[in-house]
C-alpha cells in the first residue's frame, strides 16, 4: 500500500530518494531550507545531475511529489532525514547541527505515529544521542530507525531498488515499521540489531573502499620510485590468483569517501584512534598533490620552466564514471594551489561541470578541441566516456603538446608516443622524471 513520506534535505541523498519513492507510487513531500533549491525543484527541475531524476521530477511534481519548506502536520507515515553532515576542514570533526535542527523540526511537525528514519551518514551513536532526544521530549515515545544510504552517483535510482537495504531500529516496533517502509522500495532488507550497527555499516562500506583504493595508490608510488609500471604489476598480480584482487591507482574523492573516514575516526571514543582508516585517507588525499608536483617536474624537464605554461585539465568532477557533476572531493581542488604557485595557467573542460564552476576553482573553461590546440600539456583527471572515446591520431593531428599525463591510462599510449608526445600516468613516468 502506498505511503505518505517526508524527505528532509534535498541534497544528493534526499533528491534521489524522493525521486525513487515517488516513482514507486508513494506520496512524497520533500523539504529544504534553500529557496533556490525549492524554486527549482517545484518547477520539476533538479539542481543536481543524476540519470533518471530529471524525468521523475518532470512527470510527478505536483502529482505525488511535492516540495516546500515544511512537512505536512499530519498524515505522514515516515520521515527520512537526509541532511548534510559535513566535516570541518581544520578539525575534521563532523558538523551535526543540520541533523539536530532536522530532528527538532520533525518533533514540531510530526507525532509519535510517524516513523523517523536517519539516512544521513553519522558517527556511531548519533541517531540515539542527537536525533532521539528531541523526539522523546516532544512526544514521550518514538519510532526511530537508521537506514543508511549506500548508492553510487550515476546509478542511484537503480541501486535504491537493487541494493540490500540495511535497517537498524530503536526497538522491535521501530524495526518492524522500518522494514515495512523499505520493503516497498528495496528488493532485499537486511535487519540489524541496533541503530548503532546500521550506522557502522555505512561507515564500514566507505572506509573499506577508501582503504582498498589507497593500497593501489601506495603501489603506484612505489612503482614510480623504481621505474616500473604499476598497472603491469597489478595485472600480473591479479591473474588467476585466488585471493582478493588489487585495485588500480586513482583519485579517491566524492562526498562520501572524502568525509566518512573522518566520521569513522570520530566514532572511536577511546584514546586510541583507528590505525588504518586515517592513514588510508591521508594517502588518498596526498595523491592529487603528488600528481600536481609531477606535472610541474614534467614542465621543467620538457620546457625548462613552468612560468607562463598552459595546462589543459580534462575532468573536473571527482570521477568520470558513472558520470557526475559532483565536485565534492575533486582532485583539482588540491592541485590548483600547486599550479598557481608554479605560474601555470589552467584551462578546464568537463562534459558535465559548468563553466562557472570551473572558473570558481581557478580554471579557464575551454572546448575540448581547444583544450588540445591551445595548450602546452594535457592532464586527464577523470575517465569520463567522452575522454575514453578520444581518437589520439585525430586530436593530435595538428597539435603537439609537450606531454599528456593520463591519470587513468585510458588513452592510446603507443599512438601518443608515436606522435612524439611524452606520456605519463599515476605512478608511471617512462623516459624518467625522477620521483621526488
Residues 141 and 67 in one domain: yes
Total structural domains within the chain: 2
Indicate if the pLDDT at residue 434 is higher than 80.
no
Whether residue 2 is predicted with pLDDT greater than 90 in this model: the reply is: no
Same domain, 82 and 29: yes
Average pLDDT, the chain: 95
The pTM score is 0.92
Range with the poorest average pLDDT among 154-158, 229-233, 270-274: 270-274
**Domain boundary, last residue among 171, 193, 215:** 193
Based on the fold, state whether residues 91 and 61 are members of the same structural domain.
yes
* Residues across the chain: 436
* 3-state SS, residue 54: helix
Contact 303, 402 (CB under 8 A): yes
Determine the Cα–Cα distance for residues 359 and 366; give it in Å rounded to an integer: 11
Q: Which of 382, 164, 44 has its CA nearest to residue 30?
A: 44
Domain encompassing residue 82: 4-193
Asked if residue 246 and residue 173 are part of one domain, the reply reads: no
Residue 304, pLDDT score: 95
Q: CATH number of the domain that 76 lies in?
A: 3.40.50.720
Strand-strand pairing, 143-146 and 165-169: antiparallel
* 375 and 360 in a common domain: yes
For residue range 279-310, list pLDDT tens digits in order.
999 999 999 999 999 999 999 999 999 999 99
| Coil, strand or helix at 33 | coil
Q: What is the largest CA-CA distance in the chain?
A: 74
Q: Which of 150, 171, 193 is the last residue of a domain?
A: 193
- The pLDDT tens digits for 329-345 are 999 999 999 999 999 99
Beta pairing class for 310-314 and 377-380: parallel
Whether residue 105 sits in one domain with residue 71: yes
Residues 349-360 pLDDT 10s: 999 999 999 999
pLDDT at 397 over 80: no
Whether 36 and 161 share a structural domain: yes
Determine the average pLDDT of the residues in 166-178.
98
Quick one: pLDDT at residue 436?
A: 44
Cβ-Cβ contacts under 8 Å for 74 (sequence gap 6 or more): 111
CB atoms within 10 A of CB 404: 26
Q: Please tell me whether residues 113 and 212 are part of one structural domain.
A: no
402 & 388 share domain: yes
Domain boundary among 134, 158, 193: 193
Burial 413-434 (b: 16+ CB within 10 A, else e): bebbeebebbbbbbbbbeeebe
Query: Is 29 in the same domain as 51?
Result: yes
Write down the pLDDT at residue 350: 97
pLDDT in tens, 22-79: 999 999 999 999 999 999 999 999 999 999 999 999 999 999 999 999 999 999 999 9
Q: Are residues 73 and 41 in the same domain?
A: yes
- Clarify whether residues 212 and 295 are in a common domain: yes
Q: 432: pLDDT confidence band, cut at 50, 70 and 90?
A: very low
**63-65-70 Cα angle (round to 5):** 125
The pLDDT score that the predictor gives to residue 270 is: 79
Lowest mean pLDDT among 86-95, 118-127, 289-298, 336-345: 86-95
127 compared with 269, residue with greater pLDDT = 127
Amino acid at each position: 500500500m502506498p505511503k505518505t513520506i517526508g524527505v528532509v534535505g534535498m541534497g544528493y541523498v534526499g533528491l534521489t530518494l524522493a525521486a525513487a519513492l515517488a516513482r514507486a507510487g508513494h506520496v512524497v513531500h520533500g523539504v529544504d531550507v534553500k529557496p533556490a533549491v525549492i524554486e527549482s525543484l517545484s518547477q520539476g527541475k533538479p539542481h543536481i545531475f543524476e540519470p533518471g531524476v530529471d524525468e521523475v521530477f518532470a512527470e510527478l511534481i505536483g502529482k505525488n511529489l511535492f516540495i516546500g519548506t515544511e512537512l505536512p502536520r499530519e498524515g505522514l507515515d515516515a520521515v527520512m532525514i537526509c541532511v548534510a553532515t559535513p566535516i570541518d576542514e581544520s578539525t575534521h570533526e563532523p558538523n551535526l547541527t543540520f541533523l539536530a535542527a532536522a530532528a527538532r523540526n520533525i518533533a514540531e511537525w510530526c507525532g509519535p505515529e510517524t516513523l523517523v528514519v536517519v539516512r544521513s551518514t553519522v558517527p556511531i551513536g548519533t541517531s540515539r544521542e542527537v536525533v532521539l532526544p528531541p523526539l522523546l521530549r516532544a512526544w514521550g515515545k518514538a519510532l526511530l530507525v537508521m537506514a543508511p544510504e549506500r548508492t553510487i552517483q550515476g546509478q542511484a535510482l537503480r541501486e535504491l531498488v537493487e541494493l540490500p537495504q540495511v535497517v537498524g531500529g530503536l526497538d522491535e516496533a521501530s524495526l518492524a515499521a522500518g522494514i515495512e517502509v523499505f520493503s516497498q522500495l528495496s528488493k532485499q532488507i537486511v535487519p540489524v540489531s541496533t541503530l548503532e550497527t546500521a550506522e557502522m555499516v555505512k561507515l564500514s562500506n566507505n572506509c573499506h573502499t577508501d582503504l582498498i583504493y589507497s593500497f593501489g595508490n601506495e603501489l603506484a608510488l612505489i612503482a614510480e620510485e623504481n621505474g616500473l609500471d604499476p598497472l603491469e604489476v597489478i595485472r600480473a598480480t591479479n591473474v588467476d590468483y585466488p585471493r582478493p584482487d588489487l585495485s588500480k591507482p586513482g583519485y579517491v574523492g566524492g562526498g562520501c569517501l572524502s568525509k566518512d573516514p573522518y566520521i569513522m575516526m570520530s566514532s572511536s571514543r577511546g584514546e586510541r584512534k583507528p590505525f588504518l582508516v586515517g592513514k588510508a585517507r591521508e594517502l588518498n588525499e596526498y595523491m592529487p598533490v603528488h600528481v600536481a608536483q609531477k606535472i610541474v617536474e614534467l614542465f621543467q624537464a620538457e620546457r625548462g620552466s613552468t612560468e607562463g605554461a598552459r595546462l589543459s585539465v580534462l575532468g573536473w568532477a571527482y570521477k568520470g564514471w558513472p558520470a557526475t557533476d559532483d565536485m565534492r572531493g575533486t582532485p583539482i581542488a588540491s592541485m590548483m594551489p600547486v599550479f598557481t604557485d608554479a605560474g601555470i595557467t589552467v584551462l578546464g573542460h568537463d562534459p558535465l561541470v559548468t563553466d562557472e564552476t570551473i572558473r570558481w576553482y581557478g580554471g579557464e573553461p575551454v572546448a575540448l578541441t581547444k583544450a588540445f590546440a591551445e595548450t602546452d600539456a594535457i592532464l586527464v583527471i577523470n575517465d569520463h566516456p567522452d575522454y575514453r572515446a578520444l581518437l589520439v591520431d585525430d586530436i593530435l593531428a595538428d597539435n603537439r603538446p609537450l606531454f599528456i599525463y593520463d591519470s587513468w591510462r585510458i588513452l592510446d599510449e603507443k599512438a601518443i608516443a608515436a606522435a612524439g608526445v611524452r606520456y605519463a600516468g599515476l605512478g608511471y613516468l617512462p623516459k624518467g622524471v625522477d620521483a621526488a
